[in-house]
Structure formats: structure tokens, C-alpha cells
């Protein structure tokens, strides 16, 4: 009788051709904090019992065991492997070999900077959070984690992952609700809780990472699913320049919108000189770094190219050659070749283009909402910044501010998140 009171008997009903198999878990007490989630994990085959009928809830999970279970949660475990692994320590003797290679193939899991995966190493909270954030929607949306007592112990490369997962509700912090214990290894009980949360919220997993078989029927009634429908997630801010008239960025699950009035940064790739330019001349500026919002949302990668062309020349009264010209940015191109429209001009002050690091005491211009006059008066006041006709000599390698004059839309394609630089990816994803 004491044994029955001491042990939590869990009956697992697994239906195979109307047969029922019963199993008793002998090391999970009736009042165990993750008891229900453990039952679900076993019922769904995410985590198996060991040593006959033990779950070992306080035991750890290896990295290969974790990716194996996570693939089952998102229903991708049966997908064929068609790519070779790039991990140096993966071979035919690797435990859970197919899962490790498959997780790399679908870009669910990343290895270490030394090109290893370390499949038998216990997975810790930082690595777990990073892997989950990699497959879920919403990018790094705004969320405050400062209330957690050990938030400052989270390494820089994993911080955005915690922010995103807290916003999505994909985290576990037992027994202290205000502690992440980021350095601790993940326990099997904690894994069961995380898997249960993800399985119950598969709509928060990016479409490319989850099995959409069941989702097809939730479309337009004809088996068609609307993948282009944008779901609003959050409003972020962009502060590349303190004097921008607008710093709002709208975050959707399929795109980001940098609103007009924001300022970007671009490095000139070739000499731009007003006294030798002609209408139609094209110039390229490139993003010197990966760009994120202040909340940590990835916008576009280092190497993104901004294309500007000479739209108009200004002549002096005594010279037939142009002395000033108007540069207009009309498109941008991501490093993978995807090209989209944009609208922008070099940011100017006192009829001169403003170079990065050249502003000693910048003053933020008033936005239309703050301006006391009419819209017409406001547009006249800032017209020289919106369409400057300026004399300049931008040498190769010089970095300038780019004023966005129309909303800049950044679609998220299949390869979008892989466009971050190698250094950036290694810092953020394990």
C-alpha cells in the first residue's frame, strides 16, 4: 500500500488497431510538478522510459537526444536525409545519427564554431532556448526579461533567444519562477514541459519547420493554405541615428516594415562626385553590419546593397557642367540576390550630406506629428532633406546616413534568416 502511495502509476493508452498497452512509471510521484507533461511526452513518443519503467525526470538529455525529440514534436522525424553533414565529429557510430543530420539539413540546429556538433554532450538551457527560438515565429520580438533574477548571466549570443521565447511562452523555470538558471543542463522533466508547450502551440513554429499536413484543411476550404497572410507581431524601434524623424519598425511573421523617416547606414562602394556625374549614373552603398532593432529583431544582414542613381543635376550660372546632383535610392538587394524596391535619399544638413561619425551634437528633427504648422508647411521645411540637390564628393569607403522616404518592406523568404553573417549566426544559434 505504501509503495502505491509513494509511486505515481501512469496508464498510457496507445491505440494501435484498437489495442491498449499499459505502462507504470515508478519514479514520478503523484505530486510531481511536471507529471502531466511527462505523460504527454511518453504518449506521443517524444521521450521514452528507461530501465524498464523509469522516466528519470531529473536526468539530463544529450544534444542528439534533444534534436531527435524536437523533430518528433514538429513532426519532421520521418523526412528523408538528402544532404551530407558538415559536422566533423558525426559518423556512422554517432547516436541518433539521422536526427542530427536531418536537424542540420532543415537548418533547425547549428553546431559549434569549430564545426562540431558534440552529439553526446548534455544540452544546457542556453542551447535549448537558442534551438527553440531558431524554429519559432516572431523573430526576436520585444519582451522584458529584466525581472528574472539571473538574466545578466545569459551570454550575449543567447540573449535574443530568451527574449523571443519568453514572448512566445516557450520556457521553463522550475522551481524558481523568476530564474532561468541558464548554465544548468536541461533535465528530462524540463524537456517534457517544453515539448508539451510547443506541441500545443504549433502555430508559433515557422511553417518551413513544421509538418503542415493538418494545417492544409484550415485554409480556404479547398485544401489551400494562405502562407502569404501576414500576422502582426509587434512594433519595434530602430536607432541607427538619434536624429531620425521616425524610428518605428512593424514586425510581422512574414515581413518587416521599416517606416518612412527612419535612417539607415550605407558605405560607398565607388567614387561619387557631383561634378563628374550624369543623370542615370548608378552607385552602390552597402550595409557595414547586420542590422537589428533595439529589441533584437533581425532586419537585414551585413552586405545588403542599397542602389542610388543620379536623378537630377544642378548647374551654376556660369558653368555648363553640373555642380550639384540629386541621389535617389530606389532598390536594395540582399546578399542572396533577392532585390526589392525602396525609396530614400542621402540625409543632409545645411545642404551637405551627413557622414557617419561626423555629427558632434545631433538634434532630432521634429516629426509631422510634433510640428505645430500645417502639413504643407512641414513638407516645405524638410523638403531639402527629402530630395536634396547637393554638391558632394563621396569617396570609396565613406559611410553616410540614408533617409528612408517611403516604407521599406523586407520579406522573409526561405533563406532569410540564413543571411546573417557567419559571426552573427555563431553568436546567436547553437
pLDDT digits (tens, 9 = 90+) for 306-337: 998 877 665 554 444 445 677 788 899 988 88
Calculate what percentage of the chain has a pLDDT beyond 70: 70
Better-predicted residue by pLDDT, 308 or 367: 308
Minimum mean pLDDT range among 100-104, 179-183, 209-213: 209-213
**Order of all β-strands in the sheet with 248-252:** 232-237, 248-252, 255-258, 408-411
Per-residue confidence at 430, pLDDT binned at 50, 70, 90? Answer: very low
The mean pLDDT of 115-137, rounded to a whole number, is 93
Domain-by-domain residue ranges, the chain?
Answer: 232-428
Better-predicted residue by pLDDT, 54 or 274: 54
The mean pLDDT of 13-29, rounded to a whole number, is 49
- Cβ-count burial of 320 within 10 angstroms (0-12 exposed, 13-18 middle, 19+ buried)? exposed
Instruction: Please give, one letter per residue, the 3-state secondary structure of the chain.
Output: CHHHHHCCCCCCCCCECCECCCCCCCCCCCCCCCHHHHHHHHHCCCCCCECCCECCCCCECEHHHHHHHHHHHCCCCCCCCCCCCCCCCCCCCCCCHHHHHHHHHCCCCCCCCCCCCCCCCECEHHHHHHHHHHHECCCCCCCCCCCCCCHHHCCHHHHHHHHHHHHHCCCCCCCCCCCCCCCCECEHHHHHHHHHHHHHCHHHECHHHCCCCCCHHHCCCCCCCCCCCCCEEEEEECCCCCCCCCCEEEEECCEEEECCCCEEEEEECCCEEHHHCCCCCEEEEECCCCEECCCCCEEECCCCEEEEEEEEEEECCCCCCEEEEEEEEEEEECCCCCEEEEEEEECEECCEECECCCCCCCCCCCCCCCCCCCHHHHHHHHHHHHCCCECCEECCCCEEEEEECCCEEEECCCCHHHHCCHHHHHHHCC
Measured CA to CA in angstroms, residue 254 lies from 164, 231, 276, 416 at distances of 16, 7, 42, 10
Residue 211: the pLDDT is 64
Cell output for 112: 559549434
Q: What's the CA gap between 324 and 276, in Å, rounded? A: 10
Q: What is the largest CA-CA distance in the chain?
A: 107
226-257 pLDDT, tens per residue?
Answer: 334 567 777 889 989 887 888 899 888 788 99
Tell which CATH architecture fits domain 232-428: Beta Barrel (2.40)
Per-residue confidence at 281, pLDDT binned at 50, 70, 90? Answer: confident
The answer on pLDDT for 78 being more than 90 is: no
Per-residue confidence at 88, pLDDT binned at 50, 70, 90? Answer: very high
Per-residue confidence at 22, pLDDT binned at 50, 70, 90? Answer: very low
Name, of 158-172, 364-378, 410-424, the range with top average pLDDT. 158-172
Residue 379: the pLDDT is 47
The mean pLDDT of 352-373, rounded to a whole number, is 56
Give the global pTM. 0.50
Minimum mean pLDDT range among 113-122, 141-150, 208-217: 208-217
Amino acid at each position: 500500500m505504501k509503495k502505491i502511495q509513494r509511486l505515481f502509476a501512469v496508464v498510457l493508452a496507445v491505440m494501435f488497431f484498437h489495442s491498449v498497452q499499459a505502462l507504470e512509471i515508478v519514479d514520478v510521484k503523484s505530486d510531481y510538478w511536471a507529471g502531466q507533461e511527462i505523460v504527454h511526452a511518453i504518449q506521443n513518443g517524444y521521450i521514452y522510459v528507461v530501465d524498464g519503467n523509469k522516466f528519470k525526470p531529473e536526468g539530463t538529455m544529450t544534444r542528439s537526444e534533444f534534436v531527435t525529440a524536437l523533430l518528433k514534436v514538429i513532426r519532421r522525424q520521418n523526412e528523408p536525409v538528402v544532404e551530407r553533414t558538415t559536422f566533423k565529429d558525426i559518423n556512422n557510430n554517432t547516436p541518433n545519427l539521422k536526427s542530427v543530420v536531418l536537424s542540420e539539413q532543415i537548418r533547425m540546429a547549428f553546431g559549434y564554431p569549430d564545426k562540431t556538433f558534440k552529439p553526446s554532450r548534455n544540452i544546457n538551457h542556453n542551447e535549448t532556448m537558442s534551438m527553440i527560438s531558431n524554429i519559432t515565429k516572431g523573430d526576436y520580438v520585444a519582451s522584458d526579461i529584466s525581472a528574472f533574477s539571473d538574466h545578466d548571466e545569459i551570454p550575449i549570443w543567447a540573449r535574443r533567444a530568451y527574449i523571443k521565447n519568453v514572448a512566445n511562452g516557450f520556457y521553463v523555470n522550475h522551481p524558481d519562477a523568476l530564474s532561468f538558471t541558464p548554465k544548468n543542463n536541461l533535465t528530462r522533466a524540463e524537456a517534457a514541459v517544453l515539448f508539451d508547450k510547443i506541441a500545443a502551440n504549433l502555430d508559433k513554429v515557422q511553417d518551413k519547420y513544421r509538418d503542415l499536413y493538418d494545417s492544409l484543411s484550415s485554409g480556404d476550404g479547398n485544401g489551400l493554405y494562405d502562407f502569404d497572410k501576414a500576422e502582426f507581431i509587434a512594433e519595434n524601434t530602430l536607432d541607427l541615428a538619434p536624429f531620425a524623424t521616425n524610428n518605428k519598425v512593424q514586425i510581422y511573421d512574414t515581413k518587416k516594415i521599416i517606416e518612412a523617416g527612419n535612417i539607415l547606414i550605407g558605405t560607398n562602394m565607388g567614387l561619387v562626385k557631383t561634378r563628374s556625374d550624369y543623370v542615370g549614373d548608378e552607385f552602390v552603398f552597402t550595409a557595414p553590419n547586420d542590422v537589428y532593432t533595439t529589441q533584437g529583431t533581425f532586419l537585414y544582414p551585413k552586405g545588403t546593397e542599397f542602389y542610388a542613381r543620379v536623378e537630377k543635376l544642378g548647374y551654376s550660372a556660369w558653368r555648363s557642367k553640373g555642380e550639384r546632383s540629386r541621389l535617389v535610392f530606389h532598390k536594395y538587394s540582399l546578399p542572396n540576390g533577392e532585390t526589392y524596391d525602396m525609396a530614400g535619399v542621402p540625409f543632409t544638413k545645411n545642404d551637405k550630406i551627413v557622414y557617419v561619425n561626423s555629427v558632434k551634437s545631433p538634434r532630432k528633427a521634429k516629426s509631422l506629428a510634433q510640428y505645430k504648422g500645417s502639413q504643407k508647411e512641414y513638407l516645405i521645411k524638410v523638403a531639402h532633406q527629402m530630395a536634396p540637390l547637393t554638391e558632394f564628393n563621396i569617396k570609396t569607403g565613406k559611410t553616410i546616413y540614408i533617409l528612408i522616404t517611403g516604407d521599406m518592406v523586407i520579406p522573409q523568404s526561405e533563406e532569410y534568416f540564413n543571411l546573417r553573417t557567419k559571426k552573427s549566426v555563431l553568436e546567436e544559434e547553437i
